Chain A
Amino acid sequence: MTVEAASFRGEVSDSYSAIPPQNAIPVLLVASEAPLDARALTAGELTQVAALSGARRGALWLTARRALRLALAGTGRPTDTSAYRFPSPVASLSHSADLAVAAVLAADYDGVVGVGVDIELDRVPDPRTASFFLTESELGWLESVPTDEVPAVLTRLWTVKEALFKADPVNAETTLRDYQIADPAAMRGRATRSGEIDFQYVSLARPRGVLSVAVALSQSSLSQSWKVDPVQTVDFDLMASRISSLISVPIERLAPDATIAELVPDSFMFIEVAVDLQEEFDVILSQHDLKDVHTLGDLAELLQSRQVEQANV
């Protein structure tokens, strides 16, 4: 599962190009440099904008809300932006200079619990601040980056960390250093927060900077509970039946004295048979065990004895 973001058509124009690749979580990105028409604000949005101080903040807010509204409309979601609280499971906002970007999940996905976006244009973090947002291992990796590439790398990592933070549904007490990027060199990949929550992210290079989008994945989607079939008690007929289906040999030929080397000459196939039987009967066999197994009867005896031994441990 990866996060896949739409790319911009241009810095100024709004973009509507959700890309739904296979096995990916599509996120629609919309950029805007123009503010939302104040006459189009809902009652909730009017209340929110009235609470902001200063014309500049108000203008940025309206620009961001325009991007968000377009993204919500483009994904078929309700467009009253005041109904969305951040961190949100479906949407995120960022702005840099006069450009605002909204990221909205293109559809609802089980297991996605947060979306984050961050854009940086015409700005490079001071290298001395790297230790405030990168982990020890990330800083270690940064030392291997050629000096002339460090500013661009730092900017990208900053946007990734910000996007992770925004995507984290419980980020109230976290810092950017709590997020560990699996491979800091990768433009897309995985990240975690203290082993508690996993993320996918992707970074997109822009002409004047970089943008990153992240999605947070729920623990339930990561550690799904699986229906466990009951463990079977070993008996020769059941074992032969499984082997028959694996190696496509009629069960009538699978007598206790049948030799395994003749039935399963392909060593990969033998691994498959061995693992399948261990899974079915919940036993562990070793290479040493299997060395002494020549016939199907030997194998059944071994499985039976291991099942009894291991049940008593």
Chain B
Amino acid sequence: MNLSENDLWLLSYYRSSEINGALFFGRVARTMRPSKLQAEVTHHFADEAQHARYWTECINDLDCDPIRLRGSYQDQYLQAAGMPANLMEIMAITQVFEKRVIGQYHQHLKAPGLHPRIRQTIERIMEDERWHIKYVRDALTEMEGRYGAAHVAETVERFSQADQEVYAKTLAEYGERVAFLRAEAEAR
């Protein structure tokens, strides 16, 4: 086995979060009217499913099997910030979440002694994550006309605050499993 117990747990957590993301965006995609945004959300849904596959393959390549985890980061988000009630709120929470994902993967890339296979997987996923942030940002800008720029900004801010709360809670809850992230957060 090439992974420590904590590393296996973290990679499995990533995998679980990607699966939940795929399921979430799949559901959103099928409710939307045909539009450019629907096409992008469908693309996003496919990306998340692919990312879950990348993590499965990465874990397998390191001679382990993913741990079956039910919970994910997204679940805690929704508890903290409440359910998004419309498409704009879904895009707002997505923007905040995607930024957190990129930040998290960036932090992980800095972890000492990172296995090259894990680095490769993160870098591959991050290529898509950057596009996710761009299309969501563009969608929110476009939605300002319908929902109001101030309301969009307030919603993003509300979810950003929830994100910080959830992230702090996650670091506290999972303790040693994510020790390298806590060290980064405290160093700031």
Residues in A lying within 8 Å of B, measured CB to CB:
182-183, 186, 188-190, 222-224, 226-229, 246, 267-272, 274-276, 278-279, 284-287, 289-290
Contacts and interface: CB of A to CB of B under 8 A. Distances in A.
B78 A267 contact: yes
Contacts, number: 75
Contacts of B134: 182, 190
A226 B36 contact: yes
Contact of B127 (A188, A228, A246): A188
Interface string B18-48: 0000011001101111111001000000000
6 contacts: A183-B130, A224-B39, A272-B28, A276-B31, A279-B87, A285-B86
A50 to B, nearest CB: 46
Contacts of A275: 28, 31-32, 86-87, 90
Contacts of A189: 127, 130-131
Contacts of B31: 246, 272, 275-276, 279
Nearest to A246: B31
B188 interface: no
Give the size range of B's interface with the partner: 20 to 34
A283 to B, nearest CB: 9
Contacts of B24: 268
Given A186-B127, A287-B89, A272 B83 contact: no
Given A284-B86, A285-B86, A182 B130 contact: yes
Given A222-B36, A275-B90, 7 more contacts: A226-B34, A229-B34, A268-B23, A279-B87, A284-B146, A285-B86, A287-B82
Contacts of B83: 267, 270-271, 287, 290
Contacts of A286: 85-86
Contacts of A272: 27-28, 30-31
A28 B84 CA distance: 45
A274 B34 CA distance: 17
